[in-house]
Amino acid sequence: IMHLNTNYENLEQSYLFSTVAKKVNEFISKKPDKKVIRLGIGDVTLPLCKAVVDALHKAVDEMGVQATFRGYGPEQGYDFLCEAVQKYYKSHNVELDLDEIFISDGAKSDLGNILDLFAQDNTVLVPDPVYPVYVDTNIMAGRKVIYADANGENCFLPGVNKEIKADLIYICSPNNPTGAVYNKEQLKEWVDYARECGAVILFDSAYECFISDENLPRSIYEIEGAKECAIEFCSLSKTAGFTGTRCGYTIVPKALGKLNKMWLRRQTTKFNGVPYIVQRAAEAVFTDEGQKEIKENIGYYKENAKVISETLKRCNIWHVGGKHSPYIWLRCPNNMKSWEFFDYLLENAQVVGTPGSGFGRNGEGYFRLTSFGSRENTIEAMKRFEKLFK
């Protein structure tokens, strides 16, 4: 008789962003005349930049011509894109071999899929609050998850606690949901700790392009020794507006031993690779023109973050993030709980954010806003905010 994976019973009933979307849709169906502004899920709103669109058109044309048509591609990505990623890392002084770079359909999938390589009895350390995917994917596999407290006292950047023994350690910097960023010294402590206890760090760098201080690390491999203990996940979703186009890359250094070959084996078996046309679009992101254009878009979102942050300041609402990150993490006004504030804001201002408690126990009483909206909507949302709280 078939047995179900009962670990699923240990998950929250639905994925955080699905719950938020459901609540918003219920509100809209009750009050269809209200204009709801969504600053909840971190989904981009600016269109793909010109360099990317041109590359897409060109690749589509190639696919329609016998001489340049492509069928199955290499599961780990075409060399032209791996080379572009390699060059990008080199610009941050990180040397990678081509066969350490794996092209994927985004960080979320790979962060979940990588767990195929690890035994079930590994203990997993995640910060709290945390991007829910790290926790949920491990619960699905029945792994023990322990938490490192991130809170106002440590500026939402938990440090190493040598008393704790972990085998897999998740780090996201710039952080989702708090926007906090580790500096090199702080990351070095994690790298040293991982090497000491034989752990692997799963480093999510999906928001690296928002870093505007040259001294802050964009990649964990800027830290000495990291190649021996860390896998890095990055994505073009936020960097270049690929949330709907789908392309990312995962770095599995050969210095990690068997893991590099195991990941290749896993991907060639369970993944068909990213479509050729999308990989050509991704390649265009790394050209000089593409880099210039995406920087303009990132600058636009950063300006939105400033609009949000300045409004919160005027309302005397405590907040962090928004500087090296698209997320602003605020304390709910009037001591409201996260979901209470979510409902209050939706009802009274028709502004949608993400309740901090959805990211973990330490997120209770906090709330996340994203700067990925349009300028017009961000300004309008903040006007409504100010009316309620100033």
**Which of 117, 126, 161, 162 shows the shortest CA–CA distance to 144?**
126
C-beta separation of 254 from 96 below 8 A = no
Taking CB under 6 A as the criterion, which residues in 85-144 touch ligand MLT? 108, 131
Q: How far is the CB of 112 from ligand MLT (least distance, A)?
A: 11
Taking CB under 6 A as the criterion, which residues in 154-213 touch ligand MLT? 176
In the bound state with ligand MLT, the residue whose beta carbon lies nearer, of 11 and 262, is 11
Residue 87: other Cβ atoms inside 10 A: 11
Q: How far is the CB of 354 from ligand MLT (least distance, A)?
A: 7
Q: How far is the CB of 341 from ligand MLT (least distance, A)?
A: 17
Stretch that binds ligand MLT, among 35-43, 155-163, 166-174, 314-322 (CB under 6 A): 35-43
**Which of 38, 42, 148, 312 is in the footprint of ligand MLT by CB under 6 A?**
42
In the bound state with ligand MLT, the residue whose beta carbon lies nearer, of 131 and 276, is 131
When asked if residue 273 is in the footprint of ligand MLT (CB under 6 A), the reply is: no
Q: How far is the CB of 243 from ligand MLT (least distance, A)?
A: 7
CB-based contacts of 341, cutoff 8 Å, min separation 6 = 332, 333, 353, 355, 367
Stretch that binds ligand MLT, among 41-49, 58-66, 197-205, 307-315 (CB under 6 A): 41-49
> Rounded distance, CA 366 to CA 360, Å?
10
**Which of 11, 24, 36, 41 is in the footprint of ligand MLT by CB under 6 A?**
41
Taking CB under 6 A as the criterion, which residues in 342-361 touch ligand MLT? none
In the bound state with ligand MLT, the residue whose beta carbon lies nearer, of 118 and 131, is 131
Stretch that binds ligand MLT, among 40-48, 53-61, 247-255, 291-299 (CB under 6 A): 40-48
In the complex, residue closest to ligand MLT by CB: 42
Stretch that binds ligand MLT, among 37-45, 76-84, 214-222, 289-297 (CB under 6 A): 37-45
Taking CB under 6 A as the criterion, which residues in 233-252 touch ligand MLT? 237
Q: Which residues bind ligand MLT (CB under 6 A)?
A: 41-43, 108, 131, 176, 237
